[in-house]
Amino acid sequence: MRIVYAVPGPMSKTALGSAEVRRRQELLQRWAPDGVEVAVQDVPSGPASIESAYEEHVSVEQTARLVTRLEAEGADAIILGCYGDPGLDALCELTERAIVVGPGAASAHLAAMLGHRFGIVTIADGVVHPLRRLVADAGLAGSLAGIAVVDVPVLELGADREASALRAAEAGRRLIERDGADVLVLGCMSMAFLELDVDLQAKLGVPVLNPVKAALAIAHARALFGWRHSKTAYPTPRKLAAGAALDDLVVG
């Protein structure tokens, strides 16, 4: 089985560089079940990091091109490498065989199985509304206790892991004590790849979901059992079904 983690931004061209891409691939491979090959691929252009609804939307076109190519190359499942699941519904329209998993939706559904109300620890105020909408679209608005931010830019989270872990713990504690959360979710893939879930769970005493691990588990299970998305729910765009290429959908 081959699973590809598709980064909806040119991570290898940022200050994090190709070394971070390799580090994430090593972690994914370590977390993957036996017999699963995991690769990481980023897009050639787009937002360096996604910290707003606007950046989510800007990232979708290049991600769609990458996802369609990965399907053509035989990927069994594709994980969308942003917690906000930008363009997930569109990507499901474009794919026929390959499974596409959004870590935001995957971890929200899993969190709802682990307790009564979950809280999301994320990066900045700019993503709070998009994440509320994501949870509502998943049908889980009534299970969301709240969202708290650490107020650290995505590309700076790894510069001081201990400081990021402390901020995440403070945000998580607010969600537990103020909002009544009994489960926490890391609402940022960069937090997830720092493995902050391990620290938070030990410190705060509630389950803490890592969205990378959640998406990987869901991608593996769906590919293993052939649980593909419904093409009735996500029909192929009419123009593509009639034989047009992806580029033909854009004029100019």
What pLDDT, in 10s, does the model give residues 5-46?
999 999 999 988 999 999 999 999 999 999 999 999 999 999
Q: How many residues does the chain have?
A: 252
Give the neighbor-by-neighbor strand order of the sheet with 2-7. 37-42, 2-7, 77-80, 99-101
Give the number of domains in the chain.
2
Strands (E), 99-182: 99-101, 118-122, 144-149
179: domain CATH number is 3.40.50.12500
Same domain for 186 and 148 = yes
Which has the closest alpha carbon to 224: 92, 86, 69, 101? 101
Kindly state the tokens that stand for 67: 């996802």
| 20 and 68 co-located in one domain | yes
Task: Identify residue 205 by its one-letter amino acid code.
Answer: G
E strand or H helix that includes residue 80: strand 77-80
Helix (H) or strand (E) holding 14: none
Q: Are residues 115 and 145 in the same domain?
A: yes
87 and 36, same structural domain?
yes
Same domain, 20 and 114: no
Q: Are residues 98 and 108 in the same domain?
A: no
Residues pairing with 74 in the sheet:
none
- DSSP-derived letter for residue 39 is E
Q: Does residue 8 share a domain with residue 59? A: yes
Q: Are residues 49 and 20 in the same domain?
A: yes
Q: Are residues 18 and 97 in the same domain?
A: yes
- Whether residue 174 is found in the same domain as residue 134: yes
Residues 33 and 116 in one domain: no
- Confidence band for 248, pLDDT divided at 50, 70 and 90: confident
Tell me the pLDDT tens digit for each residue of 124-156. 999 999 999 999 999 999 999 999 999 999 989
The per-residue pLDDT for 252 is 72
Co-location of 239 and 158 in the same domain? no
- CATH number for the domain including 90? 3.40.50.1860
Range of the domain at 134: 104-211
Question: Are 56 and 82 spatial neighbours (Cβ–Cβ below 8 Å)?
Answer: yes
pLDDT band at residue 250, thresholds of 50, 70 and 90? confident
Confidence of residue 249 (pLDDT cuts 50, 70, 90): confident
pLDDT tier, 104 (very low <50, low <70, confident <90, very high otherwise) = very high
